[in-house]
């Protein structure tokens, strides 16, 4: 349920007003909401649908069609495995398999403790160091399954030491 006293909801309302509550502004409204809240939950989607006078199914359909919208909170850190041609040929699938096996999840999911979200990307230009991963905004390459798991664990352990 949306709390109208929440400052974030008020920011969203202001952004929708700026867009003139136009149905054609749906994608921009979703971007704004995600920027404000960090992700798009069901209540936010319903709120946008109501304000733009659109069926909730249409808003959900757009939010799930485009890969840049998140329907769940993102982890504190991200691990993005490149699946571009060079990385694919040099073993990106082995990295993905190692992560999925170690953490019992699929790419696009977040660990239960919300520490790391695992994603894939077509190419981020690190072909010379394939297979490559962007781990918490740092590109690392020449990886294998064990190295990527060790890198993720190192990040998670470092975070635990600080708390």
Nearest Cα to 25, choosing from 56, 59, 1? 59
pLDDT surpasses 80 at 161: no
Q: What is the pTM of this model?
A: 0.69
Please give the pLDDT value at position 162.
Answer: 55
- DSSP code of residue 137: T
Q: How far is it, in rounded angstroms, from Cα 48 to Cα 68? A: 17
Average pLDDT, the chain: 93
CA angle 77, 86, 115 (to 5 degrees): 10
pLDDT (average), residues 12-33? 95
Which fold does the domain 77-162 belong to in CATH? Answer: Glutaredoxin (3.40.30)
Regarding predicted confidence, which is higher, 6 or 45? 45
pLDDT (average), residues 102-106? 97
Enumerate the domain spans of the chain: 7-65, 77-162
């Amino acid at each position: 349920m949306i709390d109208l006293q929440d400052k974030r909801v008020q920011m969203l309302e202001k952004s929708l007003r700026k867009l003139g509550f136009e149905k054609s502004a749906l994608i921009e409204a979703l971007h704004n909401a995600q920027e404000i809240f960090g992700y798009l939950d069901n209540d936010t989607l319903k709120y946008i649908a109501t304000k733009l006078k659109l069926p909730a199914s249409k808003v959900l359909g757009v939010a799930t069609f485009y890969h840049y919208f998140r329907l769940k909170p993102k982890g504190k850190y991200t691990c993005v495995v490149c699946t571009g041609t060079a990385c694919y040929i040099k073993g990106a699938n082995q990295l993905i398999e190692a992560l999925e096996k170690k953490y019992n999840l699929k790419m696009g999911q977040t660990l239960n403790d919300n520490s790391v979200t695992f994603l894939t990307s077509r190419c981020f230009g690190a072909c010379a160091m394939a297979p490559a991963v962007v781990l918490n905004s740092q590109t690392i390459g020449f990886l294998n399954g064990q190295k990527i798991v060790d890198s993720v664990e190192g990040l998670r352990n470092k975070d635990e030491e600080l708390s």
